[in-house]
A and B are shown apart, each in its own frame.
Chain A
Amino acid sequence: MLGDFMPILVLVCLAALICGVMVVGSYVLGPKKVTPYKSSPYECGVMPLGTATERFPIKFYLVAILFVLFDIEVVFLWSWLTIFKDAPTDFQVFSGVDVAVYLGLWIVGYLYIIKIGALDWDEATSLAPEKLEASATVAVPAQASNQEALA
């Protein structure tokens, strides 16, 4: 039933076994002397503040969504990619035009996300451009103002 994939199953089982032995082995072999300081989260030697499950920038979510969209769009191409080279010329021309249209839509979507700044990691421009203008100050030579500050 498994056919060609049976060795893969063996490989996967052995790889999982190695990983399991590594993790369990280190848990079993090492000494354990638990103290409250050791078992608190590491924050550079300072008492940890709040929990770690904090809010994080929505950019990560956005990247994940875009990844799913674009990856699925490439996934649809794989079967076509495999048969294209050895296919009859008629099929190559017609399916080539089809795929060109499909990739054209892909590119339009791509241009759209670039244009709305979904991939800009500088939040000042992509999320709130008005903040940028509000915080813009008159340019003063950096060195001079630093010298003033020191004086």
Chain B
Amino acid sequence: MSQWIEDIAKGKDAVLFGIHMYGPGVLALIKVLLLLIPALILVPGLIWWERRLLSWMQDRIGPNRTGTITVPDNFPIKGLRGKKQRTAGLLQPIADGLKLFLKEDITPASIDRKVYFLAPAIALFPAFAIGGTLPWGSAYLPFGDAVGGIYSLLTPVANVDIGILYVLAISSLGVYGVVLAGYSSNNKYSLMGGLRSSAQLISYELAMGTALASIVLASGSLRMTDMVRVQEQALWGVLPAVQNWFVLTPFGLVGAVIFLICMIAETNRAPFDLPEAENELIAGYHTEYSSMKFAVFFMGEYAAMFFFSGVFAAVFLGGYNLLPLNYEYLATHGWNFLGQDMGGFWRGMAWFNYWAGPAIFVGKCVVGITFFIWLRATLPRLRYDQLMGLGWKTLLPLGISNLIIVGLWIVATKLWGIGGGWAAWAAAAAVLVIIYLNIASLSKKDEMAFGGRSVEMKDPSPRRTVKMVDPNKV
């Protein structure tokens, strides 16, 4: 059985589907459709999942009615007539989408027409294009370093040598849609929402860039497939049975936390949803949009969440690997469990890991999105100065410090071995913590100013003077 699977994967699988015989154009189209069609199917599913999960977290039921199928009375099989089958409301987002297409498309009179119609398209476009370099299946066969197998033909869409730069470049295009939507709507709320959003997106892009830069430094390649491949090596270079997922390394953990926060801010999700803070800005940049144009912004948000989770999974969570275990090493150096030789089990696991790669990858994306939803149900929205402070004064210095530490770690490991690497890491971390604390104390002065401030509000009528004094001061 397992021999047969190995045979298929080792070269016959491509023949099986005849994929290798297509020209580059057709192959490119197949790859792109394999990326876009699951995304288009998953986006409504994610909207349903968010609504259901939020409902459960808030002790509600959520949409569970739409899509109840009743078997008609003239159905051939008598026993099934009149029976009802629920689909747990899965068709709700599709019904919503159809309804939105048929709603009135209100176009305000005083807008900048071209930009106004272009803006939603520009907001949605990068969300779909960002997945262009994401590998969702292993290009390498288990047991050996040979490139081959079905996934090496199908994924990623383009295995370019600037994979992670492509992700950064495309993700930064998203800000254009938001700013243009806010600017062209000729509405004060839209303008403020667009401005806030642009400042937020560019601020967090810096920290995101530094977080990814430290990982590029550690993996030595910008190619996404290489970045996953590096994570399949021995953990910290000393534990061959465990994979070196970057989230398990100290610098990778810092990078992962920075990237996670930036990813939430880049997709305008709670607690960073200030651009669309509904209690102060109506709906922010999409106040003047109606019908499907309004929904296009949301589609963009969900598709971006999905693909950003994919980037996170590929860069920090070992991509398409289920567990951080090196099955190949375990199969050859396997333990004897209760006298049983476990080699066959680990070989089977290696092949399962290979074939289930796409499902595992999508699973990691869904876990990422569940985390987004969980955060939305848990955390209140940040204040604007807190938001900018977090991006510029915490995440950016942290990201740069991380970058310096990784560089030191690489050089010290090469010069003095693994112990030198760890010593350099500890020393650099200590120095940078001191520097960071100094930076933090530099920006403390405005907090003092906040504490000492009192505002006097006067009503024209003489009797009513309300003084609001900071209670900490009294």
- Report if A107 contacts B (CB, 8 A): yes
| B101 CB contacts on chain A under 8 angstroms | 25-26, 29-30
- B302 CB to closest chain A CB (Å) equals 13
Instruction: Using known A-B contacts A8-B158, A114-B439, determine if residue A137 contacts B454 with beta carbons closer than 8 Å.
Output: yes
In the complex, per-residue mask of A136-148: 1 if CB is within 8 Å of any chain B CB, else 0? 1101111001100
In the complex, per-residue mask of B294-305: 1 if CB is within 8 Å of any chain A CB, else 0? 001001000000
- Report if B437 contacts A (CB, 8 A): no
Contact: B124 with A142, CB < 8 Å?
A: no
* Interface range for B: 35 or more
| A71 CB contacts on chain B under 8 angstroms | 202, 205-206, 209
Please, how many angstroms separate the alpha-carbon atoms of A38 and B110 in the complex? 11
- Report if A81 contacts B (CB, 8 A): yes
- A50 CB to closest chain B CB (Å) equals 9
Instruction: Using known A-B contacts A81-B216, A85-B217, A135-B455, determine if residue A6 contacts B100 with beta carbons closer than 8 Å.
Output: no
- A26 CB to closest chain B CB (Å) equals 3
Contact: B449 with A82, CB < 8 Å?
A: no
Chain B stretch 387-428: residues in CB contact (< 8 A) with chain A:
388-389, 392-393, 396-397, 400, 403-404, 407-408, 410-411, 414-415
Binds A, one of B9-17, B23-31, B79-87, B348-356: B23-31
Contact: B28 with A6, CB < 8 Å?
A: yes
In the complex, per-residue mask of A11-48: 1 if CB is within 8 Å of any chain B CB, else 0? 11011101110110111011111101011111110000
Instruction: Using known A-B contacts A92-B411, A149-B465, determine if residue A19 contacts B124 with beta carbons closer than 8 Å.
Output: yes
Please, how many angstroms separate the alpha-carbon atoms of A125 and B451 in the complex? 12
- B214 CB to closest chain A CB (Å) equals 8
Point out the residue from A19, A85, A111 that lies within 8 Å of B125, measured CB to CB: A19
Contact: A51 with B186, CB < 8 Å?
A: yes
Contact: B222 with A82, CB < 8 Å?
A: yes
Closest B residue by C-beta to A71: B206
Contact: A6 with B24, CB < 8 Å?
A: yes
Contact: A19 with B121, CB < 8 Å?
A: yes
Contact: A117 with B187, CB < 8 Å?
A: no
Point out the residue from A15, A33, A40, A132 that lies within 8 Å of B128, measured CB to CB: A15
Contact: B199 with A64, CB < 8 Å?
A: yes
Contact: A103 with B396, CB < 8 Å?
A: no
Contact: A11 with B35, CB < 8 Å?
A: yes
- A13 CB to closest chain B CB (Å) equals 9
**Interface residues contributed by chain A, number (CB under 8 Å):** 87
- Report if B236 contacts A (CB, 8 A): no
Closest B residue by C-beta to A141: B474
Contact: A136 with B454, CB < 8 Å?
A: yes
| B408 CB contacts on chain A under 8 angstroms | 96
Closest B residue by C-beta to A75: B209
Instruction: Using known A-B contacts A103-B404, A119-B392, A121-B384, determine if residue A81 contacts B213 with beta carbons closer than 8 Å.
Output: yes
Instruction: Using known A-B contacts A39-B106, A84-B410, determine if residue A142 contacts B474 with beta carbons closer than 8 Å.
Output: yes
Please, how many angstroms separate the alpha-carbon atoms of A57 and B439 in the complex? 25
Instruction: Using known A-B contacts A8-B158, A63-B203, A103-B400, determine if residue A146 contacts B466 with beta carbons closer than 8 Å.
Output: yes
Instruction: Using known A-B contacts A100-B404, A135-B455, determine if residue A67 contacts B191 with beta carbons closer than 8 Å.
Output: no
Please, how many angstroms separate the alpha-carbon atoms of A59 and B452 in the complex? 23
Contact: A10 with B203, CB < 8 Å?
A: no
Closest B residue by C-beta to A70: B206
Closest B residue by C-beta to A138: B454
In the complex, given contacts A22-B293, A92-B410, what are 9 additional A-B residue pairs having Cβ atoms less than 8 angstroms apart? A4-B161, A12-B132, A23-B293, A31-B102, A51-B186, A54-B191, A63-B199, A71-B209, A89-B411
Could you pull out 15 A-B pairs where Cβ atoms are within 8 angstroms?
A4-B160, A5-B160, A8-B160, A10-B29, A16-B125, A22-B120, A38-B108, A39-B107, A54-B188, A63-B202, A67-B202, A119-B389, A119-B393, A126-B446, A136-B452
